């Protein structure tokens, strides 16, 4: 899957499943910052989505990989089989 497609899929997930307003969500927007405000419950949903859709486990992965759509996509890219 092309990187751009992956990011677009991730963005669609944040909008549909985690209620994030797409207008303010760029690929480099901090997900756990004040504006988007994700928390530990949301990270469980991210882990589950990434596992189901990209076959990559993010369980127990360091926080910095969850910073933005860019960093999640980079992690997936690096770790996919």
Partner 1 sequence: MTSNNRRCVVSGLGVICAVGNNVEETWNNALNSVSGIHKTTSLDTKNCYADLAAEVNCDTLDEIECPDEKDRASKLCIKAMKEALNDAGLGDFADSSRVSVIIGSCVGGVLSIEKYHRGGRDANEIPKMPIAAIASQVAESCHAGGIVTNVGNACAAGTISIALACDLIRAGKADVVIAGGSDSFASVPYSGFLSLHALDENGCSPFNHCNGITLGEGAGIVIVESLEHAEKRNAKRYCEVLGAGVTSDAHHITAPREDGICLLEAMERAVRNSGIKKSDIGYLNAHGTGTGKNDNAEINAFLKFFGDENPTLSVSSTKVMTGHCLGAAGAIEAVFSIKALTTNTVLPTLNYSAEDSEALKAKVGNMDYVQNKPRSKELECVMSNNVAFGGTNASIVFSKKPGDVQSQVAKDKKIAVTGIGIVSPIGNSKEVYLESVKNGKLPESASVHATVTNDDYKELGIKMAFYRKLDNLGQLQTVSGMRALKDANFTVTEDNAKQIGIIVGTSEGGLGATYDFQELITEEGNAGGSAFKFPHTVYNAAGGYLSILSGIKGYGVTITTGPLSGLDSIGYSMNVIHDGQEDAMMATGTDENLPIITELCQKLNVAADKVVEPYSDSKGFVVGEGSVSVILETEDYAKARGAKVYCYALGYGNGRKNVKFGHISGSGEALDIAINDALKDAGVSIDEIDAVCGFANGFKKLDDIEKAAYARVFGDKLANLPLFQVKERVGEGRAATATLAAAEAALMLGGELDSENAYFIANDGSVSKKTVATSGFKKILVTSFATGGSYSAVVLGK
Positions touching partner 1 (CB under 8 A) are: 17-21, 24, 34-37, 39-42, 44-45, 48
Neighbour-count burial of 81, counting CB atoms closer than 10 A to its CB (0-12 exposed, 13-18 middle, 19+ buried)? exposed
Q: How far is the CB of 3 from partner 1 (least distance, A)?
A: 26
Q: How far is the CB of 53 from partner 1 (least distance, A)?
A: 13
Q: What does the alpha-carbon distance between residue 17 and residue 48 come to, in Å, rounded to a whole number?
A: 12
14 to 36, 43, 58: CA distances (angstroms):
10, 11, 16
Q: How far is the CB of 37 from partner 1 (least distance, A)?
A: 3
CB-nearer residue toward partner 1: 2 or 40 = 40
């Amino acid at each position: 899957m092309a990187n751009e497609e992956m990011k677009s899929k991730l963005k669609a997930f944040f909008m549909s499943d985690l209620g994030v307003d797409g207008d303010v969500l760029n690929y480099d927007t901090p997900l756990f910052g004040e504006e988007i405000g994700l928390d530990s419950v949301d990270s469980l949903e991210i882990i589950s989505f990434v596992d189901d859709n990209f076959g990559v486990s993010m369980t127990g992965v360091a926080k910095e990989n969850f910073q933005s759509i860019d960093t999640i996509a980079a992690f997936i890219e690096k770790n996919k089989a």
